[in-house]
């Protein structure tokens, strides 16, 4: 089994090796960052970011023809300590004739406590698709930030965050970052792949901020191409699996 994984955000090219005509593509969308809140009132805190979606398909490729993939970045916390978390970005794969697999991003948490949306199935493209987990809203009356939603995995939807606790990932998806647990406490960064950042607690310190969202990924796998001897055997094998007059020793020497 061959594989080639891209986990750093941005563009990344891949060229199918000789005799490889199809590849399994798994895409994880980038997640949203948690919101940052600088109000010391007890009822305030940032909302958690949403987890990215997952999409998978078997895609036809041509040996030697370059394929493009884009790994979605996780959203960054805001530049000030009273700002919304940024959205993540989609991850996708293009075999040269258009995008065939696309995993949707998770949304950023709001500075005033609203949760970031999850990466949706209906905005993703693939044979198999799972949604990310939704971020949690701020914890009212306690000044704590909401947890980040989990990234979707290869076997299950990412779980929603609950209170300050980040959602757990589903089969390869990351666990969401916890929210800041009180005055002037930062939210935590989401885990790979594609988990949302936690929202900050309330406060007035410059160090207070939401957690960054985690980057997505585009993972490729394929069956190893046949060896020379295997291809030769296939070309001379009869209808019932018998070779047609070619000694096995002669085939092996090649």
In terms of domains, do 87 and 204 share one?
Answer: yes
In terms of domains, do 1 and 90 share one?
Answer: yes
In terms of domains, do 10 and 75 share one?
Answer: yes
pLDDT band of 88, cuts 50, 70, 90: very high
In terms of domains, do 35 and 103 share one?
Answer: yes
Q: CB under 8 Å to 131, separation ≥6 — which residues?
A: 53, 118, 119, 120, 121, 152, 157, 158
Q: Are the C-beta atoms of 120 and 87 separated by less than 8 Å?
A: no
Q: Are the C-beta atoms of 136 and 158 separated by less than 8 Å?
A: no
Only one residue has tokens 């398909």, namely 57
pLDDT band of 184, cuts 50, 70, 90: confident
pLDDT band of 80, cuts 50, 70, 90: confident
Within 10 angstroms of residue 128's Cβ, the number of other Cβ atoms is: 13
Question: How many percent of the chain have pLDDT more than 70?
Answer: 88
* Whole-number pLDDT of residue 233: 61
In terms of domains, do 66 and 184 share one?
Answer: yes
* Whole-number pLDDT of residue 108: 98
In terms of domains, do 218 and 245 share one?
Answer: no
For the chain, what is the domain count? 2
The string of pLDDT tens digits covering residues 17-50 is: 999 999 999 999 999 999 999 888 778 899 999 9
Only one residue has tokens 């948490």, namely 109
Q: Which residue has the higher pLDDT, 240 or 177?
A: 177
In terms of domains, do 147 and 237 share one?
Answer: no
Please state, in angstroms and rounded to a whole number, the distance separating the CA atoms of residues 176 and 155. 17
In terms of domains, do 213 and 154 share one?
Answer: yes
Structure tokens at 211: 């957690």
Region of poorest pLDDT, from 138-147, 154-163, 221-230, 235-244 = 235-244
Q: Which domain holds residue 247?
A: 228-254
In terms of domains, do 83 and 196 share one?
Answer: yes
In terms of domains, do 136 and 46 share one?
Answer: yes
Region of poorest pLDDT, from 33-47, 95-109, 239-253 = 239-253
Q: Omega into 129 within 30° of 0, i.e. cis?
A: no
Q: Are the C-beta atoms of 72 and 54 separated by less than 8 Å?
A: no
Taking the C-alpha atoms of 12, 7, 51 and 60 in order, what is their torsion angle to the nearest 10 degrees? 50
In terms of domains, do 250 and 188 share one?
Answer: no
Q: How many helices (H) and strands (E) does the chain have?
A: 2, 9
The string of pLDDT tens digits covering residues 185-218 is: 999 999 999 999 999 999 877 778 999 999 999 9
Only one residue has tokens 């970045």, namely 73
In terms of domains, do 71 and 7 share one?
Answer: yes
């Amino acid at each position: 089994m061959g594989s080639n994984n891209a986990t750093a955000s941005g563009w990344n090219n891949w060229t199918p090796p000789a005799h490889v005509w199809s590849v399994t593509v798994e895409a994880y969308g980038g997640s949203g960052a948690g919101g940052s809140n600088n109000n010391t009132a007890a009822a305030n805190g940032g909302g958690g970011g949403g987890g990215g979606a997952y999409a998978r398909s078997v895609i036809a490729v041509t040996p030697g023809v370059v394929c493009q993939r884009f790994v979605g970045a996780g959203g960054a916390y805001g530049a000030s300590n009273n700002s919304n978390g940024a959205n993540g970005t989609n991850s996708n794969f293009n075999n040269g004739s258009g995008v065939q697999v696309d995993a949707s991003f998770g949304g950023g948490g709001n500075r005033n406590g609203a949760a970031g949306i999850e990466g949706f199935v209906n905005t993703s493209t693939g044979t198999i698709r799972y949604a990310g987990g939704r971020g949690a809203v701020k914890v009212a009356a306690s000044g704590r930030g909401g947890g980040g939603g989990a990234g979707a995995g290869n076997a299950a939807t990412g779980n929603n965050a609950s209170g300050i606790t980040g959602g757990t990932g589903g089969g390869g998806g990351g666990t969401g970052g916890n929210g800041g647990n009180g005055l002037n406490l930062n939210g935590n960064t989401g885990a790979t792949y594609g988990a949302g950042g936690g929202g900050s607690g309330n406060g007035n310190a410059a160090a207070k901020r939401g957690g960054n969202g985690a980057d997505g990924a585009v993972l490729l796998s394929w069956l190893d191409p046949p060896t020379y001897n295997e291809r030769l055997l296939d070309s001379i094998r009869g209808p019932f699996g018998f070779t047609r007059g070619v000694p096995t020793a002669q085939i092996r020497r090649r």
